[in-house]
Amino acid sequence: MSTVIHLDVCGLQPPEPLERVLDALSTLDVGNRICMLIDREPRPLYPILERNNFRHETTIRDDYLVEILIWHK
């Protein structure tokens, strides 16, 4: 059974959002996902995900928050 870990980092100042998602990724089991909610697009995160064998899907919501779903390749 797959688990989705919700990570709301809205309002946090850099680099705290990046640090929090990297901490969560370090314990993410294969098959599970992280759903990160942030108030700006975290462009530095994308190459880090690619280098570490993760996929992501980014959605900009109607309320202008950015939702990023992350999982293992």
pLDDT in tens, 49-63: 999 999 999 999 999
pLDDT in tens, 6-52: 999 999 999 999 999 999 999 999 999 999 999 999 999 999 999 99
Q: How far apart are CA 31 and CA 45, in angstroms?
A: 20
Q: How far apart are CA 31 and CA 22, in angstroms?
A: 17
Q: What is the pTM of this model?
A: 0.95
Instruction: Write out the residue range of the structural domain in which residue 63 sits.
Output: 4-72
Burial of 37 (0-12, 13-18, 19+ CB in 10 A): middle
Q: From the CB of residue 25, how many other CB atoms can be counted at a distance below 10 Å?
A: 20
| Partners of residue 8 on adjacent β-strands | 37
Domain count, the chain: 1
Instruction: Give me the CATH number covering residue 44.
Output: 3.30.110.40
